[in-house]
Structure 1
C-alpha cells in the first residue's frame, strides 16, 4: 500500500506525477456508457454489491449505471449507502440524494448512515483505521470504512476519480477569486516581500516557498486536452495513493473494489469520444456519456458539497488546543506557528494530516512496534510512499475524497 511522505503530511496534500504509460489505453467498447456498464457487472455479480452514494454527480452516475445493468441482467439491485451529517450544512446533499433515489426507484435498497462527531479526524471511526493502517491519504478515508464493512464478502462501487477525469483539478468559477488571492500571496512570498504566514503559516518559510513552486508547476503541467489530461491524472500520486489505500482496506474485508470512472475501458472510450477537446466541462461530458439514457436527475448540475466541517469536530478541537508543540519535524514545521494557528477554530484543512500523525504518535496501538501491517509506528514516523517526494499545498481534505 502506498503511503504519504512526511512532506505530504506536513504540507497538506500530495503532488507528483509518475512516468507515462508505455502504451495507450485500448477501448473494447467504444461507447463510454457501455464501457461503464461492463465495468460494474463483475461487482453486481458478487453480492452484496454496495454503492458509496453521496448524491453528487459521480456517485449518482455510477449508481444509475449499476441499477440499469442489474435490472437488465436480472441481478439484485445494488445497495446505495449514504452518509447524513449533523452540524455540517455545507455537506448536505440530501435533496439530491432523494431525487436520484426516487428517479431510480431504489428506495427499498437505500441505506442511510448518520454521523455527528463520529467521523472526526481522530474520532472513533478514524481511530480504527489509524490503529490498523497508520496515517493514509486522504486523511478522511475513514468515511468509507463503515461502507466497506457493509460490503464485507461482496463488492463496492464508488465514484472515485470523477473529479480528476471529468473535471480536472482546476477550481470552479466560485473559487477563482480565492485562488487569485493565494497567487498574489505566493508571488509576494517568492519575492520576499511578504511573510510566508500569508500562504502556509505553519511551515518553515523556505518549505512554504518550495511548496508553492511545486504546486504552481503541477497546475501548469496539467494538459488542456481531455485525452492527455486523463492519462496525466491517472499517474498523479494523489490519485494513486487514494486508490491504493481504499483498495487495501477493501481487500481486508474481502471486498472487491471497483471504481468505474477509472476503469481502463471507460477511460479509453471517453478518450476516443472527446480526447482531442480542450477543457470540456463536466456537464458537457456527462451529457454526451449519458445521451438521454438515464434519468435527468442523475446528471443535472448541482452544488458541490464541502465536507471539511464533517471531519473537524469536538475531538480534534480538544486535541489541537491541548497540543504541547512536540512531535513535528522542525525542518518542515514551525511548531510555535502551528500552535498559534491551532489556538483558533476552525483549523486549516491543510494541517489535518498533522493532526492524525501527532495523535497517533501520542496514542499508538499496543502492537504498533511489531505489527506487520505498516501501521501506527511507521505512519507516525511518516513512512514515505514511492514516487517523487515533492512538496504540496494546504488544500482542504474535502477536496480529496468524494464519492
Structure 2
C-alpha cells in the first residue's frame, strides 16, 4: 500500500536515509506522530538552562557558526550564544547570513540589521558574514547535483543545499540552526486556550476565534477542519490525492490537548528523524558538529516539564523567556516569515521542467502534465520538490 510506513528506517550507500514512493509523491513523510520516542528525560523544568547547555556544546568547537536569517529562532540563538560566549570566555560565534538579491520574498535584511544593531548596542560581540545566493541552492543545482548522484535518489529535506553551504563555512567547528523552533515553541492547543482565558477573549479577531475553535474542538471535528485546510496535491492522481489528504488530516487531529504531551510529541515523526539524520550526515562529512538546540531532546523535555499539563507558553512568551531581555520586542512579536521558494525552484529546475517528458515518475500515481505545470508556475508547491529530484535523476542517468 502506498501510504504504509511500518518499515524501519532504511539507509542508502552514502549514509542518507532512503525514501519511499509515498514520501516522494507527497513531498515529505506524512505518517503520524509517535514514530520515535525522545531519548532524554529530565526532572529539571528549566528550558532556559537547557537551551544554554546545548549552545555551550556548540561554542566549544570553533568556529561556532550560527545560521542567522533574522527570524525569531535564529535571532534567539545568535543572541544567547553570543551572550554565553562572552560570559564564559568562549570565542565569539559567527553569524552566517544567506541573502537573495533576486528574490524579494526572501529578503529579511531589515530584520537582520535591526537584530545586529540591537545586540551590538548592548555590547554583545560576534562576527557577521553575509553571502549572496544566486543559483547555488536550486533543488537540482550545482550543490545538490553531486549529492543526488551519489545517493541515487531524492533526499529529505529536498532543500538540503542550504545545509551543505552552511556546513562548508563551519568545517572543523559547529553549525547551529533553528530547526525545531516552530514545532516546539508554538502551535500547542493548550497554550492557545490558556492565552484566551487570560485575556477573557478580549481583542480577538475572527481568525483568532477560528484558531481557538480548532484548538478546543474534539478530534473528529479537528479532522474535518484539517481536511478542509490541507493543500491539494494536484499533481497526484485523484485516489492517491484523497488518501494522502486523509493521512495529513488524521495526523493533525491526533495532536494532544495537554501541553506537555503536545510538546513531547511534536518532533517524534519519521519526517523529523529522516531530516535530522540527513542534515547530520552532511555536517559530519564537512567535519562539522550539527547543533539544533530547539530540537535537542533535553531542551524539549525541560520545556515540556516547565509548562506541565496546562501551563504552557505562547510562542511570544517562550521566546521572551529564553532570550532573557537580549532581543528587541518587535522581533519577539514578529509573526511573518520569509519564503525561499524562488531560490529552490531556480533556473536549473525551471530549465529541466520546461523540457521534461515525464520520465522518472509513475504515471499511475502522478499526473505528468499537472506536475510540469506546478513546477513552471509562479509558486511551485514545495511538495513537488522530491519528484523534481527523482525525475532529474532519471534523466541524468539515461543521458
Match of 2:130 in 1: 112
Higher relative contact order structure (alpha carbons within 8 Å, sequence separation ≥ 6): 1
Local SS of the residue matching 2:349: helix
- Structure 2: gaps of 5 or more residues: 1-15, 190-206, 215-223
Normalised by the length of structure 2, the TM-score is: 0.79
Match of 2:106 in 1: 91
| Cα distance, 1:25–1:331 mapped onto 2, change above 3 Å | farther
Separation in structure 2 between the aligned mates of residue 22 and residue 103 of structure 1, nearest angstrom: 36
Contact kept? 1:186, 1:199, Cα under 8 Å:
no
Contact kept? 2:103, 2:343, Cα under 8 Å:
yes
Which of 1, 4, 9 is the equivalent residue of 2:24? 9
Match of 1:271 in 2: 304
1:360-379 matches, cutoff 5 A: 360-364=393-397
Would you say 1:234 and 2:253 are equivalent positions?
no
Matched positions, count: 352
Which of 62, 67, 73 is the equivalent residue of 1:52? 67
| Cα distance, 1:55–1:23 mapped onto 2, change above 3 Å | closer
Separation in structure 1 between the aligned mates of residue 64 and residue 109 of structure 2, nearest angstrom: 22
Normalised by the length of structure 1, the TM-score is: 0.78
Local SS of the residue matching 1:363: helix
Separation in structure 2 between the aligned mates of residue 153 and residue 24 of structure 1, nearest angstrom: 27
| Cα distance, 1:270–1:340 mapped onto 2, change above 3 Å | closer
Match of 1:141 in 2: 160
Local SS of the residue matching 1:124: coil
Q: How far off its partner does 1:156 sit? A: 0.9
Contact kept? 1:7, 1:332, Cα under 8 Å:
no
Q: How far off its partner does 1:297 sit? A: 6.0
| Cα distance, 1:132–1:107 mapped onto 2, change above 3 Å | farther
- Greater displacement, 76-85 / 129-138: 129-138
Would you say 1:330 and 2:363 are equivalent positions?
yes
| Cα distance, 1:345–1:102 mapped onto 2, change above 3 Å | closer
- Structure 1: gaps of 5 or more residues: 190-197, 367-403
* Coordinate RMSD, CA, aligned: 3.2
Separation in structure 1 between the aligned mates of residue 309 and residue 398 of structure 2, nearest angstrom: 51
Q: How far off its partner does 1:93 sit? A: 1.0
Q: How far off its partner does 1:298 sit? A: 5.4
| Cα distance, 1:266–1:184 mapped onto 2, change above 3 Å | closer
1:4-403 matches, cutoff 5 A: 4-16=19-31, 17-19=33-35, 21=37, 25-28=41-44, 30-105=45-120, 109-133=127-151, 134-168=153-187, 199-277=232-310, 280-292=313-325, 296=329, 299-342=332-375, 344-364=377-397
| Cα distance, 1:140–1:336 mapped onto 2, change above 3 Å | same
Contact kept? 2:70, 2:115, Cα under 8 Å:
yes
